Chains A and B, each alone.
Chain A
Amino acid sequence: MAPELALVATAVALPFVASGATPLVYRLVGARTGYFGAAVAIACFALAGSQLGRRGAVGVPWVPSMDVSLRFYVDGWAVLFALLASAIGALVFVYSASYMADEHTLARYYATLLAFMGSILGVAFAADLLAVFLFWELTSLCSFVLIGHHTDEADSRYAARMAMIVTVGGGLFLLVGIAFLSIAATEALGARSFDLAAMLANADAMESSLRELGLFVPTLAVVAVAAGAKSAQVPLHFWLPNAMAAPTPVSAFLHSATMVKVGVYFVGRLRPLLGGDEWMVLFATVGLATMTAGAALAVVATDIKELLAYSTASHLGLMVAGFGFQSVYGAEAGAFHLFNHALFKAALFLVAGIVAHEVGTRRLAGLSGLWRDLPVTAAVAGVTGLSMAGIPPFSGFYSKELLFEAAYEAAHAAGGLAWLYPAVAVFASVLTVLYSLRLLAIFVGERPGAVASVHRPSAALVAPPAVLGVATAVVSVAPQLAVDAVVEAAIGATAAESPDVHVGLPTHLTPPVAMSAVTIVAGAAAYPVLGRLQRAIGAVVGATPIARPNWWYDRLLSGTEAAGPRVARTVHNGLLRTYVVWVLAAASALALAGYAATTGLVPAVEGVRVTPGITLVLLVAVVAAVAVVSAPSHVVGVLALSILGFMVAIFYILASAPDLALTQLVVETLVLLIFLLVLEQLPAFYADTDRLVAARDAVLSVVVGATAFLTVMLASPDIGAEPTAIARFYATEAVPAGGGTNVVNVILVDFRGFDTLGELFVVSIAAMSVVVLIAMRNRGETR
């Protein structure tokens, strides 16, 4: 069934409209604006949910002649992503209403959060690659504002800038990828197009077109960089842990359902289009590397949010790796884990917020026994934490099992080095179990004396994570329910074949089941030696600063910051002549290069057709110009300049332009007078003594002169050519339309009257400036 355009468009537009209205709402209801945001999110959820089970592209033409239209593409994958973003958005808004109640600048916060949610929905539904790019960059911009919410904290500003540079930089790679895809579409679809839906419908034609053009691997690479920057894949993962400087609700939203999932979403979206052997090697490798690195760094994290942030990177790696594998299990692992991760990670971040809010610290080291004071929170953390660890029968187990299955299948099919895939997946999962246990340890055991007192969180704070905890529990008990409801359609949209997905607890021993068993046993067994493991990982990380992308980022940024002023000092050195040299040399070089590339540098020389009179007059003008250059004093120079001007006036007479000649004569006379008046006040002449400088200037002058010479030779019309249509128009219309016989005058005062008005302004401004400069010097504004 085709989707409903009005509903989809409303779902995308509503958050933006609400974002614009937020300042007004905030003025009315204050900190309770969060509930307004939640209502908008629930409306979006309902709108997106109404499209469940539909599939197809809808749109309205915008600029039909250029094939630009407002298009939306709806399928299971898009709906799943939109539902997650709006559902978790609603919970985050409710949570913010109490968590952020004491903060300032809440209007900005909620407005940005709404716009952010709208951008995510836009990415989910956009069917036009340019619209995808627009929304993609909008998410980066909004996240910049959200991460940098605490504008007075240096950490926050640093993190916001880093997220911005990395993700917007990644977005530029996406733009290149879009250009490649559009070039390929020229051949595959018969016209240059940015229509993603059409590309997906003709995936095979697109792929063969890309391969023919030799653009397949470049497209894959730039898309991978864009998605990797957004989804925090190694080596661009470093912005994500820094982004925890954001307020906790923002972290929950950013890390669970939205920002970082955009990359994964797009990878899943393009999987049917670009899937192939290169695809698997690239994404499975990058994904598993991220999964391992993220998990290892989470093990050594000292702060709850830091642990969760690295864990997010690790789980994103799992999804990307899942989509990397070509079997249908891969798509199942990616889509199902996207769903599970959104639920449990949002809950865990909100739990971390409650701990920070009520206990006053987020440090893992000093905390334990919190279940006594925070029983509901602890229960939520228990369910979601075990789900994150992938312990059966919790929800994360099912999707991780699918990844093991996909990795095993791929290794079984390819053999050799491919056996590293399942091995690395198991290793990373062992680390995942470890850090999950470590996180849960803060809730069990006895409360240490160091923690003074724990407040009771308000119901509004506990409710959102509790809802997510219940949802995770439901998916854990009855995974098939979730799969049938939303996930299966999403898998179908990201896989080439139509899947028949069954998930549940294993009933007999298969290799993936054995891998899961190894993971859990090894994780539990390693927990007692956690301290030693942390020291080992810490030593590796500490010993190689050069291997840390964050180090490179800092170097690059500080290097750029230092280089900027240095370049500016060199280029912008305050000497007028330097600028003149660069501008003229560059203009000449570009013009000459243009001629060389098009018409060639040798003009066709026609015979001398200018009358001897004109030639003579102009030669005198050149001689006068030479006299200006070599004038021994200012007065001589000015007189020579006047000769030049009068010769040009005579040239105008000979070239059938009497009006110009009249104007020129008047102007030249006036200029001569002004020069003489000014020169009276100025000191005598300075000589340029440096011969070397004069020689260098002469070379540049010759180049500029030669360029001008060539330009006239190449660009001026042939002798005897017909007058241009526009010249003819003015000549014939002067009398009927302008009522004057002097065509030039009619043009100036009638056809181009406004130009003349502008010219009058210029002259009057010049006159006023002269008066101000000379007559008003001593009116007190000088030093």
Chain B
Amino acid sequence: MSVALAFVVGGLFGLGTFLLLRRDLVRVVWGVAVVSQAANVYLISMGGVAPGTHDSVPVLAGHGEPVPETTDPLVQALVLTAIVISFGTTAFALALTYRAYEENETMDVQEWQ
């Protein structure tokens, strides 16, 4: 697989990890978001990233037509699910952040009791 793609996935994972380790809770949430983007790109790369053509999109031309060689539709279905789920978790994490700030009156995770 392409070095460029691997570099991007690795870079996003690394930057996401760095964010996860911050003391500022908002940055921790960003870290979760960045890591899930990286995971999605990684999953897509597992299905193989070929230069796009008319046939490679997994939307068939019509009923009864011959089926061309598309990119892996299962991986795309997985990622679609993952995008929606990560949206749910990000929203939840943000609500939790807000509530945690209300309760603890600080955004610094190290200062929490």
Contact = CB atoms under 8 A, between A and B. Distances in A.
Interface of A: 575-577, 580-581, 584, 605-606, 608-611, 614-615, 618-619, 621-622, 625-626, 628-629, 634, 637-638, 641, 644-645, 648, 651-660, 663-664, 667, 670-671, 674-675, 678-679, 681-683, 685-686, 688, 697-698, 700-702, 704-713, 715-721, 723-724, 726-727, 730-732, 734-735, 741-744, 747-748, 752, 755-756, 759, 762-763, 766-767, 769-770, 773-774, 777, 782
Contacts of B87: 667, 670-671, 763
Contacts of A659: 76, 80
Nearest to B66: A732
A435 to B, nearest CB: 62
A682 B97 contact: yes
A618 B5 contact: yes
A652 B87 CA distance: 17
Interface string B72-99: 1111110111011111111110111111
A654 B1 contact: no
Interface in B1-60: 1-24, 26-28, 30, 33-34, 37-38, 40-42, 44-53, 56-60
Consensus secondary structure, chain A interface: helix
Contacts of A730: 73-74
A704 B14 contact: yes
B15 A625 contact: yes
A625 B11 contact: yes
A777 B99 contact: yes
Contact of B107 (A605, A654, A686, A710): A686
B74 A726 contact: yes
Given A671-B90, A724-B72, A580 B84 contact: no
A759 B57 contact: no
Contacts of B1: 606, 712-713, 716-719
Given A686-B24, A735-B60, A709 B9 contact: yes
Contacts of A674: 90-91, 94
Contacts of A634: 26
Nearest to B62: A741
A701 B14 contact: yes
B4 A708 contact: no
Nearest to A751: B77
Given A608-B2, A629-B15, A762-B88, A712 B45 contact: yes
Identify which of B41, B63, B72, B89 gathers the most chain A CB atoms within 10 Å of its CB: B72
B81 A748 contact: yes
A120 B86 CA distance: 55
Contacts of B61: 741
B5 A704 contact: no
B69 to A, nearest CB: 6
B45 A767 contact: no
A682 B59 contact: no
12 contacts: A575-B109, A606-B2, A641-B34, A651-B41, A656-B53, A667-B83, A704-B14, A705-B13, A705-B17, A723-B70, A731-B67, A763-B84
Contacts of A638: 30
A688 B22 contact: yes
Nearest to B5: A610
Contact of A658 (B4, B12, B57, B79): B57
Nearest to A702: B14
Given A651-B41, A685-B24, A748-B77, A610 B19 contact: no
A711 B8 CA distance: 12
A660 B84 contact: no
Nearest to A740: B60
B1 to A, nearest CB: 4
Contacts of B103: 782
A709 B6 contact: yes
A712 B57 contact: no
A713 B5 CA distance: 9
Given A656-B70, A678-B94, A648 B15 contact: no
A712 B9 contact: yes
B23 A686 contact: yes
A656 B92 contact: no
A774 B99 contact: yes
Given A626-B15, A671-B87, A674-B90, 8 more contacts: A577-B20, A577-B21, A611-B51, A688-B22, A713-B3, A719-B1, A723-B69, A752-B77
Contacts of B81: 748, 755-756, 759
A386 B67 CA distance: 93
A777 B77 CA distance: 37
A696 B44 CA distance: 31
B10 A580 contact: no
Nearest to B27: A637
Contacts of B56: 656
A436 to B, nearest CB: 67
A770 B12 contact: no
A744 B45 contact: no
Nearest to A760: B84
B91 A743 contact: no
